[in-house]
Structure formats: C-alpha cells, structure tokens
Structure 1
C-alpha cells in the first residue's frame, strides 16, 4: 500500500503545476476538472448520502453560469467498504494511483478536489493536495490540524460543525458564570459508526482548547467510557461528583438521555451540577436531543434535562432549501437506485458539500480573468478571511482556511417540553447574547447557577472542618471571657467586701464571751504592768472564747470605743491586714473586747503553745544571748511580706 503512495507522490513532482499555469485564449472557455472523492459507506459521509446533493450543486452551477462552467468535467472516485473513519483513512494511500490518474487526465485544466470525508481521511488527502498543489474542499472535516497551513496550504474546511468558533463561545459561556473546573465525559460509541469519530475528536479538542487558554486558567478532567460496554452510568457519575460541578457530555443524544436519567437518580439534577452536551448539526443517524421516549424513564429524563444545556452550530434553514432536498432525493432514486427517507434527507454534511461548491463558484467567477496566473495555494488563499452568504445560512472562512460559524445554546422549556434557543454566539461580533432571557435566568437551584467549587467542598468536608475550628475558637473565647468575667466579679466583690469589712466592726467581741480558765495550769501568768491592782485580778493572759483558747493583750491606759476605732482609718487598716496574717510564729488576730468595769480594751489572739514573744522576753530565767536574738529577728523578718 505504501509503495503506491510514494509512487504517486514521485510522479506528482514532475507534473507540478502544469495543469494550473497554462495560458488560455478565452478564460470563459477554460476547462475545469472537479474530482470528487468519496471513501467508504459510512453514514452520513457515504457516497449515497452526499453524492446526490453534490450532483445537484454542480448541475445547478452549470445551469446558472452556462458560459463559465459549461466546459467542466467531473470525476467521481468512490471506494466502498470502509465503515469507520479509521478504515476510510487507511484506504487513502491505496487510492493514490486512482486520484493521480484523474489529475493527469486533464493536465491543462484547472483542477479542484471535493471530499465529504471525515477528519482522518482529509488529513491524509491533504498531503496529496499539497504535493500536487490542488485546492481541496473538505465539507465534513473540522479537525484543528487542518489549520496548519505549512502542511495543508491548499485545504479548506467547509464543515458546518465548526469547533474553533464554537469552543471560543464555550469559553465565553464558562467565563460568564465563573466556571473553571470542568469534567469531560467522552464516549467512543462504536455502535454509531462514523459519529464515534465526531465525539472523540470533539472531546479531545475541547480539552486541548481549554487547557491552551491564555486568558483563563481551566482545570479539565477527562473520563473516557464506551457506551457499548457501559450498562450503568452511576459509577461514572459517582466519580465526577467529587471532581467538578460542570460536566460536558460528548456522546450520542440517546446516551445523553441515559446519563441524565442516572444523574436524576443520584440527585445530581437538584441544581448543584450543570451538564453540557456538544452535538453535531443534523445528520442521518443523529436524532434530536429528546427527553421523551414514551417509557418509564420519561419523568426522570424530564427532570434531568432541566439541568442540561446543549450547544452546537446552527442547522441550515431547511424550509428554504426544500427544493434542493427534493431534487437530491429524486437524483438518489434515479441515478443511485436508492430511496431516501426524510431523516436521510436532512443531512447537513451534504448541505455543507453543496455550500463548498457554491463558494468555489463565487471565488472562481471573481478570479476567472486571472485564473491562469494562480497556483492551487494562491487560489485557496482567496477564500481566507471572507464571508459567504447563501440564502439559507451565512458562514465565514478564517485566515487558516477553516469555516467559522455561529453557535447556539439550548435549554429545556418546561412549558413546551422542547429544547429552545437560549443563548446565541455571533461569530462576526464575538458576542454571546441571550435569545430567551427567561430561560437564561431559570436555574434548578433558588441560588442561581451552581458555583465552580462548592462552599463546603465537593465532599462537604470543608464546612465541617471550618465549623469545628470555629466552635473550638468560639469555645476558647467564651471560656476566656467567662474566666475574665469571674475574675473581675471576684475582684470587685473582694474589693467591695474588703471595703465594707474594713468599715464594719467585724473585730468587735463581747467581753463576757471571754471566760477565765478553771485550771489555768503553769501557763497562767499575770500581766505585770503598771495597771491598777483591781484590774490585775482580771487581766490574766489566757481565756476561753466560744470553747477556743485565746490570749488577751490590754491597750495600755486606754479604753477604745467602737466609734473611736472606726474613725481611725490607719488603725482600721492595720487591724484588717492583721486579720489575714497567717504564720506558725504569729498568733491569729481574733478581735477587740472592751470591759465595762473597769473600762478597758483588750486585743484577742489565738492562744499559741509557745505563748507570746513579749512574755518570753519578760521571762527572767531565759537568757537572751546573741544567737537567740538573731533567730528571733530572722523569724520576724520571715513573717513580713
């Protein structure tokens, strides 16, 4: 197979560009050679699906411009058998001889190639077109690789499923709602044949486009699955629940419905998640996005579709091309011996082929006077950066030869039960605008569109952590506040109590409560002071106060009344300080007692086993040497604060 490819390429180098640079005396009579290449039997790219519509396009071209296109020949190369895009691409090298023979058939003609092949086929055919310098009009391929004009200088993409402008609009849409974290659910639906390539390529290009964004940083996750083998989508959706709130489904409409039914059962359609699906325009084998299948899942599907946004490029205005569709249908029956259903008639890839022929005719008519000076590459460049305006749909070819289209976003109208246009991206102005403000502002959640990242995290674990931390901090603050309040209250109470105690006669004792000991024993000592003899009989040192042994000491020469003590603040403070003085060498102060006859005041202390310091000093048998005095001084100092 490969030796045929190199053989064709080798021969082509000798014929560059003989068939494009020949002088013609009459440009109106120039011979045009249109080669149409149809590979495989894949609906909707097949010979039978697109061929009849291309026939109608060339027939009308010659009818509308009889002078310019009267001398035009067509060569149709059909290679049957391939049922997938990959199989069709594998057949391209084997067709190199046939294609090269067709090119040689009219060496002095202006030769162009048309092909409705899928992306993989056009990528291979584009290399031949470059080597032979022949314009190639691809009506079904939108692969971004074709925008590489170093490798594909003569290739122009006319497919109505434009991924470039559509993905630009998708980025604008995500930016409008500040969505940055995206999960792509990519199906490889082998049961849908040619459509499987569309979804795989679209999913790959969406990720590449978002990852390559220079204006916004997106985090994209990609999960691939095969709907042929996947019977339950719960496992798939359970994985994405912890990844993102925005899910993009690249799958057949039937699979999209199954996924949305499962999402409803997993409670993912309550407004916390938003689902997108990117779809191609209308082609055979592709149904509309429908929730109603008249089965047991209709109710769940209806609820799930309220969280779904479908986006795609606009279909042509079918009502304006009904005559083209009918003529192609009749041509299919007459020439191809094949009847066409209504669903097969609505093939936008066939209409894209029709549009590519119209665009070729428009540019050729503009350049026909100078066509003999143009190469295939320079002719292709005349399509760049210009608009084409058929009555049924406008489109634009950008600076890389890629078709650019508007994009429409649809949502379910719960009243009508159908998906309706809600937002429209206008490529010419690069503006995404609301078509239906009511639907655009209708969200399942009362809080509006879901946030990019949930406030509590995808697993609701961030709020738990935050609440715990908040509770701990709050608890600590409350505890500290309570402790401070208790401390302040205690301090204020203590201060107030002290103040009140200091001013109250807490120290007042009744002299009658001081009972003399019945058997004082050796501790009974008379106070030898200069007191009246009558007083000496009562001024014994030791007493009982409420059953407790106490010691009394007289105020020398004074009998103090309660009023006199309360008026002396300094003395009162000394008494209060003495009240709380606690030490083993200091007898605790109990209070002051006043006798009426004779009138005398006494200070009352707890009785100490070692008696008092004064009595110790006055005890004459004890010798007060230097060591004893020093020890007594240190003990006194130790008591002081």
Structure 2
C-alpha cells in the first residue's frame, strides 16, 4: 500500500465526509498480492470471511482477470484503477467491472496508427520487451493481425541479456525494412536503444521512433537525463522521437500529488522524493475510483436500489462523466474510462518535453496542438528515395556491361 495507500485514504475521507448523513461506509483493506492466483484467493477470503459488498482494486490487469470471474458469480460491483488489458473489455465475462485505467492500451495503439496513416508510413518495425510494454504489444499485435494495410515486423528484446552489440544488430536489421520504429520498452531500455540508434546515425531525420512511455518515469528531463556521460547524446537521440503518454496534468493534480507524497511518507514510510518516484496517474485513479463509487452508491441508496447488485450498479456508473484529479473523464458504455492519450516531443533548445498532439478515443480524433520538431526538417519518408538498402540508386560510374 506504500504508493497507493495515501490515495485510498484520501478517497475514503472524501466520500465519508461528503455522504456522512446517508452512508455508513466500512472499508476492509485488501492484501498485497503478487499474481492472479493470490488475487483470486484474497478475493474469496474477503467475500466469505468479511462479507464485502464491493471490490475496488487491484492495480494489476492479470489479477483483475482472475478476480473478475469470481466477482461475476457473486454479482458485486467491481472497480479497478487499472484494467488496461483488452481481455477485460469482455462484458460477458466481466459484466460488473468498471475499468478506471488512465492507460487504455487500445487507445495508444490507435493513436500510433493514426500518426502512421497521417504521414503515409506503411512500413514499420516494432520493438517490444517483457517489461511494462507487454500489454501494449499484445494490443497492437491483435489490431495488426486483423489489418493487411501495413508491412511490418517485430523484434523482442531482453534488457537482462542484451548487450550493446545485440541492440546494434537488431537496429541494423530493422533498417532493411523500415524507417519508422515503434518502441514498447521501459525507460532504461528505450534510452539504450536510442543511444545505439544515435551512434548508427539514425537520429538525423531519416528515422522516427514512436515511443509508448510507461509509468516507470515521468515525462520530464529525468526520462533522458541520467547524470552520466551519455546525457548529451541522449538529448540528441530523443529529438528523433515522439512519445505517447497518458500524462497531461490538471490544475488539481499538483496539489493532489504533494498531499500523496506527504501522506505516503508519514503513514506508510514510502519516500517518493527519496526514491525519485513519480506519483503516477494509476495512483490518482485509486482516488477517483473511490470518489466515483461514493457518488453512485449514494444515488443507489437514495433511490431504494440494491448496492450489492453489481450489474445494476454498473449501469448507473457507465455512460457518465465525472470530475477527477487528472481532469474530467467519461465511463463509456463498455465500462471503460475514455481518457485521452497525449503525444510529446523534445524541444532541442531546452531539453524539455512539449505537448504536440492529443488523441480522443471516443471520437477517434487526432489533434495536432503544436509544431512537431523533425530533425530532418520534415517527417521521414515511408521509403527512402534510394530504398531501405540503397538498392534503388546506382552510383555514377558503377554501371557496366555484364558479359
């Protein structure tokens, strides 16, 4: 509970204070679980031993999948601050589940494909690892398998075993097929790939890297600046990238973030500052989950409804817009949070990231909000003039007669 406990406490305090006259909310803390099996066992104990009326959490999509089958049988309300997995969109399997994830992996995939279509990039290569990027890769793979409009390939990388030579090998091989690289990697993996690409000359404008940023680092200078000898090269390398993230801070978030940091240290002994850890949007989703739950619970009780009827409760939750610490959000007809995805690039003058684009999944709308910095003066060509392997150009004086 170190990272999320403070947000949970704040959400509980809010709804207890706001609905003090009508609701008597009893909160049973859950358990720290390390996987789907433990999550299912914990849910069963909470249901049979503590007679809980609703579940909020956990923050792992695979654990939610395991719990979801049980909660469906019990027909109880179920809200997860996560739920980015496409599997959880199945309303036959999970009819009472509301997904609050600020990171819809499908939205990221469609945003990237919107950019690919915008610039007519029909050839691309995907790099993915088993880290934070796994669900993003699965989502894109599913979409592309149902679409024959693109020519693409992919490489799986392993940060634990890959050497600089391994990164160089796959980048050189990928350059034979595309100039657009999609990266589903964590922050250290991304930096290593981009540094190698920079040394290979791939950051001069002929290539573009489309990077899905996970929650492991904030979208600020710490994402590329590590305080080592490679910082200047990293700054140059990152200018050939566009970064896709769920982060777009609302005016309320700064105050929320500060309070979470103070409470986490005071009440849970977790030092956000000392560990250089960000209060990411998943933590805010815990708070928003409680606030939303309290509002709908109050309405249900006031109208004489059954708060334990998970399907009916879900119908009240969905197709509505709520205020949140990360900005207003909508729960759509499928029980998922319709959140925007944002695109940033690196300002070469300052080394800071700037917002250059937004994607609204509910409207399937791509909006460019600022000028994109292209190292080559414009977006890369889908296929270089001389081809991926320079086989379309013949050097002067090289053409001879074959005997």
**TM-score normalised according to structure 1 size:** 0.57
Find the counterpart in structure 1 of residue 279 from structure 2. Answer: 346
Find the counterpart in structure 1 of residue 334 from structure 2. Answer: 400
**CA distance in 2: counterparts of 1:403 and 1:373, whole angstroms:** 21
Find the counterpart in structure 2 of residue 91 from structure 1. Answer: 38
Give yes or no for contact 2:217–2:223 (8 Å, CA) kept in 1. no
Give yes or no for contact 1:211–1:220 (8 Å, CA) kept in 2. no
Per the alignment, do residues 374 and 72 of structure 1 end up closer, same or farther by CA in structure 2, a change over 3 Å counting? closer
**CA distance in 1: counterparts of 2:54 and 2:256, whole angstroms:** 23
Of 267, 285, 296, which residue of structure 1 is paired with 2:229? 296
- Length, aligned pairs only: 395
**CA distance in 2: counterparts of 1:289 and 1:329, whole angstroms:** 18
Secondary structure in 2 matching 1:185: strand
**TM-score normalised according to structure 2 size:** 0.89
Of 236, 244, 252, which residue of structure 2 is paired with 1:320? 252
1:204 maps onto 2:158 in alignment: no
Structure with greater proportional helix content: 1
Deviation at 1:264, TM superposition (A): 1.3
Deviation at 1:161, TM superposition (A): 1.2
1:334-361 CA deviation, whole Å, 9 max, x = no partner? 543x142234462322111111111212
Give yes or no for contact 1:142–1:162 (8 Å, CA) kept in 2. yes
1:55 maps onto 2:9 in alignment: yes
1:359 maps onto 2:292 in alignment: yes
Question: Which stretches in structure 2 are left out of the alignment for 5+ residues?
Answer: none
1:75 maps onto 2:28 in alignment: yes
1:444 maps onto 2:375 in alignment: yes
Per the alignment, do residues 324 and 202 of structure 1 end up closer, same or farther by CA in structure 2, a change over 3 Å counting? same
Deviation at 1:236, TM superposition (A): 1.9
User: Which is higher, the Rg of structure 1 or of structure 2?
Assistant: 1
**CA distance in 2: counterparts of 1:234 and 1:131, whole angstroms:** 51
**CA distance in 2: counterparts of 1:284 and 1:468, whole angstroms:** 51
**CA distance in 1: counterparts of 2:344 and 2:20, whole angstroms:** 43
**CA distance in 1: counterparts of 2:43 and 2:311, whole angstroms:** 20
Q: Give the 5 Å matches for 1:204-243.
A: 204-213=138-147, 217-232=149-164, 233-243=167-177
Per the alignment, do residues 289 and 204 of structure 1 end up closer, same or farther by CA in structure 2, a change over 3 Å counting? farther
**CA distance in 1: counterparts of 2:307 and 2:211, whole angstroms:** 47
Secondary structure in 2 matching 1:455: coil
RCO higher in 1 or 2 (8 Å CA, sep ≥ 6)?
2
**CA distance in 1: counterparts of 2:225 and 2:237, whole angstroms:** 11
Question: Which stretches in structure 1 are left out of the alignment for 5+ residues?
Answer: 1-46, 83-87, 189-195, 473-641
Deviation at 1:134, TM superposition (A): 1.0
Secondary structure in 1 matching 2:223: coil
Which 4+ stretches in 1 moved above 4 angstroms?
Answer: 283-289
**CA distance in 1: counterparts of 2:221 and 2:311, whole angstroms:** 39
1:257-309 CA deviation, whole Å, 9 max, x = no partner? 2211111111112222110110135x579986633334332332222112111
Deviation at 1:463, TM superposition (A): 3.2
Per the alignment, do residues 97 and 90 of structure 1 end up closer, same or farther by CA in structure 2, a change over 3 Å counting? closer
User: Please, what is the CA RMSD of the aligned residues?
Assistant: 2.7
Of 76, 79, 84, which residue of structure 2 is paired with 1:134? 76
Find the counterpart in structure 1 of residue 126 from structure 2. Answer: 184
Give yes or no for contact 2:106–2:136 (8 Å, CA) kept in 1. no
Per the alignment, do residues 436 and 287 of structure 1 end up closer, same or farther by CA in structure 2, a change over 3 Å counting? closer
**CA distance in 1: counterparts of 2:334 and 2:177, whole angstroms:** 36
Deviation at 1:168, TM superposition (A): 2.2
